[in-house]
């Protein structure tokens, strides 16, 4: 029996939809690439109001562009991330290449970026060694499920998730264990 996903999943294309519907009972909205037609954005907004949405784009720069555009328009959207290594073939990257368990793990760890209170300062972020240390930052990103990203994006996403210095210290401590 397929697991049912309540929210509508926003994906890039029909192959993503086919892969997800192969394993899950779900509905999708396809963006058809990064052009993001105004009609598609209106459908995404309407879907958020009725059932909620999960943005689940490819772990590449076009996918990140789509994610940012949707986040600006629908700030309460949930986001699912998958690691590039789990969603690629020798020539292509995309969620349509991921296994059922990797897709489910990503969907299960959805995050939203709705916090507006500054929970972490840039100076604290730097003090934790997350600027200039890509490996350390990537481990934090994986631990909290926000996708691999650069320092500026990581900082914004951690703040939007209300990760404060104490929580970040705990994540880094667990990471070292």
Is the pLDDT assigned to residue 147 strictly greater than 90?
no
Is the pLDDT assigned to residue 114 strictly greater than 90?
no
Q: pLDDT at position 104, please?
A: 95
| 3-class DSSP assignment, residue 126 | helix
In this structure, what is the dihedral angle of CA atoms 101, 107, 109, 112, given to the nearest 10 degrees? 170
Considering only CA atoms, which of 98, 75, 91, 94 is closest in space to residue 14? 94
Q: pLDDT at position 90, please?
A: 85
The mean pLDDT value for 29-47 works out to 92
pLDDT tens digits along 82-99: 988 898 888 888 999 999
| H-state helical runs in the chain | 14-23, 38-50, 61-73, 100-108, 122-127, 134-144, 151-160, 165-176
pLDDT tens digits along 45-58: 999 999 999 999 99
The alpha-carbon radius of gyration of the chain (Å, integer) is: 16
Handedness of CA 71, 77, 83, 84 (dihedral sign): negative
- 45: burial class by Cβ within 10 Å (0-12, 13-18, 19+)? middle
Percent with pLDDT over 70 in the chain: 97
- Are the C-beta atoms of residues 31 and 53 closer than 8 Å to each other? no
Percent with pLDDT over 90 in the chain: 66
Contacting residues for 39 by C-beta, under 8 A, at least 6 apart: none
């Amino acid at each position: 029996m397929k697991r049912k996903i309540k929210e509508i999943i926003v994906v890039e294309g029909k192959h993503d939809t086919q892969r997800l519907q192969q394993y899950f009972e779900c509905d999708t909205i396809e963006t058809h690439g990064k052009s993001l037609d105004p009609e598609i954005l209106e459908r995404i907004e309407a879907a958020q109001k009725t059932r909620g949405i999960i943005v689940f784009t490819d772990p590449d720069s076009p996918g990140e562009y789509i994610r940012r555009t949707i986040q600006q328009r629908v700030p309460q959207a949930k986001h699912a991330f998958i690691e590039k290594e789990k969603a690629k073939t020798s020539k292509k990257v995309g969620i349509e290449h991921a296994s059922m368990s990797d897709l489910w793990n990503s969907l299960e760890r959805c995050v939203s970026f709705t916090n507006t209170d500054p929970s972490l300062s840039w100076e604290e972020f730097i003090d934790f060694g997350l600027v200039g240390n890509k490996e350390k930052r990537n481990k934090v990103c994986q631990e909290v499920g926000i996708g691999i990203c650069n320092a500026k994006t990581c900082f914004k996403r951690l703040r939007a998730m209300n990760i404060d210095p104490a929580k970040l210290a705990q994540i880094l401590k667990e990471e070292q264990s």
